[in-house]
Chains A and B, each alone.
Chain A
């Protein structure tokens, strides 16, 4: 009765978990959630700003496929027109932003509060200088484009306001729209309404862009959201065909090994239970499940297929399945426990994604083992035991060979001049390298800022941050002149602090005084009398204007630019000052440190790479810790030093040789190689444990069959994974396939017959 009860409980849990998994668990695909839980508030804050901010919503579009620049320009205009009518896009720009008429009036009216004019701008000398310059412009062969504004703005103050908003490195203009430097591709910059990591919205945006292209035009596009959405598609497609291929491979191998469709079907039950349990437990603990956890976790759960195989191979006609299970259970249990202990080390890692992965794998493995223990035997009662043929060949030779191999591999790893570990965060990205190159090329072509290096300002109010920003203007200009940095954007370039606007307003002359200075300046110049009355009128009117605040300009073009760089955060305000082409980072950091300015220099890429580096250093410790815990567990479980050696020596030699071979063939070991090595460790221990069981010849042949089927199936499935173009899947696949093959071979070398 008890097995029957266990079956019902198992079925209820499975169905309940499946219902929960399918209906209640949300899978998040935000890459940032997989990033480290970073201790610094600023870093976390910054990641958040960059993730939610307009930089993450940027899409760069390049139109090509024709040698006719006019045709590409026309296609660019047509696309911009269509996308501007599409509510999914905030902006679609293909040329320098022309201020809308209504906005022009606002900015023009406030020009004397916004423009930085020279101190003598309203004296006769200053005015004279400007009038002479205007006269030269009128005499030039090309008419000044703002000629109509001259009577109201003889100092060209409005031009200064506009010049302050110009983005540093704008793309080249051709036929009225942006082109790349070679003139081969027309460029557009788009901003989506949805956040960069709302992948479904980004996918929809991508489709809308492609649909908005004229026929015959080649469209290339990139941007953080587009890359994230596209890499999700690549992962999805790859995982689909890889898992289909792997499943097929698995079915063929299992059928060849057991010649029983029923056993092949039953072998899937523990894996099924493992996936359901892993999804349910992870979602309950973390609140949601990361897409990457799901993809890699299911891969790692592939080990669970081994558990029923051990049971199947050990079945024989003279024994009830439940009895067979009781015989192998201690060994199986020790194998599961050692794998789980290895993954538990990962749960302590600062990568929240890895902690999820660890919990996912451990709960899955435990569920699979419990299924084998309590459910499978009662389903096997009517099964004919498989014919387990296995040719044992002499073992024992490996005991002296393996330490030599291991020493050679470790020696190579210690002596190699090439860096052992891959510490760039980008190496963890699932984005194929070709897309990253396209992204870099388009980014360079559009002059879109690389937001990885910046100064961070903090203040109690927007006004305070704007004042800090203004104080940085002169020193940053000096740093640019010294070629320490190539360029910068300050929030105050879009809107001066209210204090500055008040000071400018207070310095404006009265009507009478201004007319007198103007008359003196005009003497001898051919400008008509009273031509500049609109100027006098506007200066007088400016004295009564209130200063503009960020919220007053929120829906203007410069206001939106400002919003990228000036953001509220809780009670505080943050100012971002993106720097471009930083030439001398040391000089910059030194200046920030001694300037007394309330600014902090942040290099995001370095910060991120540093986090990976710290993690990898830590991962080495976790790995050693994991091995130590496994050793301790096995020592307690086996109570036999010689057997412990036979279990551990093959797998440790396999790990060392796998790492050395991978590195020798050109790979730098990344985080995911290490995860895969951990999986190999668990598998190899399993093989060693079963091979080192002391038993009669017939039982020994059954064990050999079990381990051989396990090793062949695992190596084949992961070899298929190694075919993937996604760096991470390729890393895991090649590492596990190689590691399992070596572990199995080495374990056979030391087996006792």
Chain B
């Protein structure tokens, strides 16, 4: 019990320490810098640890982003790709494509915006769905997103984006039921 309290204090102190720096550097500036430096294509590898499965699911693929709101995710070895454009997700398959409105479920919209709004550097759009907390400094930063609404929280517990400087390197999303998805991004052309 005592150690728990002590750790909390420590965490609070650590959180307070970089306070003077926050005055010069905040989430808005970070996102603006990310948006300026975002490459058109980003290779990724993903590990998904699901409570239902014995082994993690892994995959690699590519993200393609065109500001402000067009994002394609193609999975290597799969004929399917996902395009988030405007207010819909389009699942493109060789046989055709089908569209799902992002608003059929608040979690879907929030999930889509977590990455899309971040890449677009649009903090207000991100804050519409999440409490946004910035930890760390310019060299190593972590952006913690926690959903505002209970409707989102039933599926997404939190999403942590982290990186160095103007590069987004890692996305860790924690879903309900203890599922964790870790996506490592590699900058590329």
Contact = CB atoms under 8 A, between A and B. Distances in A.
Interface of A: 96, 138-143, 145, 147-148, 150-151, 172-177, 526-528, 531
Interface of B: 48, 50, 52-55, 57, 59, 73, 75, 80, 82, 87, 89, 101, 103-109, 111-112, 155-156, 175-177, 179
Contacts of B156: 143
Contact of A138 (B52, B87, B176): B52
A531 B52 contact: yes
Given A143-B111, A145-B108, A174 B53 contact: no
Given A526-B55, A528-B53, A145 B107 contact: yes
A527 B53 contact: yes
A141 B108 CA distance: 11
B32 to A, nearest CB: 22
Most buried by B among A142, A173, A177, A527: A142
A526 B106 contact: no
Nearest to A151: B52
Given A151-B52, A173-B101, A143 B57 contact: no
Given A142-B111, A148-B176, A526-B53, A175 B82 contact: no
B50 A138 contact: yes
A620 to B, nearest CB: 55
Contacts of A531: 52
A177 B106 CA distance: 11
A148 B107 CA distance: 14
A446 to B, nearest CB: 16
Contacts of A175: 103
A139 B177 CA distance: 16
Contacts of A143: 107, 111, 155-156, 175, 179
Contact of A147 (B57, B109, B112, B177): B177
Given A140-B82, A172-B101, A175-B103, A147 B155 contact: yes
A142 B108 contact: yes
Contacts of A177: 103
B54 A528 contact: yes
A150 B104 CA distance: 20
Nearest to B61: A141
Nearest to B103: A173
Given A140-B82, A174-B103, A148 B52 contact: no
* 5 closest cross-chain pairs (CB), A and B: A173-B103, A526-B53, A173-B101, A526-B55, A176-B103
B73 A141 contact: yes
Given A142-B89, A148-B177, A176 B52 contact: no
A139 B111 contact: no
Given A141-B73, A147-B176, 19 more contacts: A138-B48, A138-B50, A138-B53, A139-B57, A140-B80, A142-B108, A142-B111, A145-B107, A147-B155, A147-B177, A148-B176, A150-B52, A174-B103, A176-B106, A526-B54, A526-B55, A528-B53, A528-B54, A531-B52
Given A147-B177, A173-B101, A174-B87, A139 B55 contact: no
B104 A96 contact: yes
Nearest to B73: A141
B93 to A, nearest CB: 11
Contacts of B48: 138-139
Contacts of A142: 82, 89, 108, 111-112
Contacts of B107: 143, 145
Contacts of A174: 87, 103
B104 A173 contact: yes
Contacts of B179: 143, 147
B157 to A, nearest CB: 12
Nearest to B87: A174
25 contacts: A138-B53, A138-B57, A139-B59, A140-B82, A142-B108, A142-B112, A143-B155, A143-B156, A143-B175, A145-B105, A145-B108, A145-B155, A147-B175, A147-B176, A147-B177, A147-B179, A148-B177, A150-B52, A151-B52, A172-B101, A174-B103, A175-B103, A176-B103, A176-B106, A528-B53
A148 B153 CA distance: 13
A132 to B, nearest CB: 13
Contacts of A145: 104-105, 107-108, 155
B110 to A, nearest CB: 11
A151 B177 CA distance: 12
Nearest to A532: B52
Contacts of B177: 147-148
B82 A141 contact: yes
B179 to A, nearest CB: 8
A151 B51 CA distance: 11
The residue among B73, B155, B156 with the most chain A CB atoms within 10 A of its own CB is B155
A414 B142 CA distance: 86
A329 B55 CA distance: 109
Contacts of B106: 176
Contacts of B87: 173-174
A388 B109 CA distance: 85
Contacts of A138: 48, 50, 52-53, 57
Contacts of A151: 52
B103 A527 contact: no
Nearest to B74: A141
Contacts of B73: 141
Contacts of A148: 176-177
A174 B176 CA distance: 26
Contacts of B53: 138, 526-528
Contacts of B50: 138
A175 B87 CA distance: 9
| A140, A141, A527 — most chain B CB neighbours (10 Å) | A141
Nearest to B80: A140
Q: Chain B CB within 10 Å — which of A140, A151, A177 has the most?
A: A140
Contacts of A96: 104
A49 B53 CA distance: 54
Contacts of A147: 155, 175-177, 179
Contacts of B75: 141
By CB atoms of chain A within 10 A, which of B53, B55, B82, B105 has the most? B53
Contacts of B112: 142
Contacts of B103: 173-177
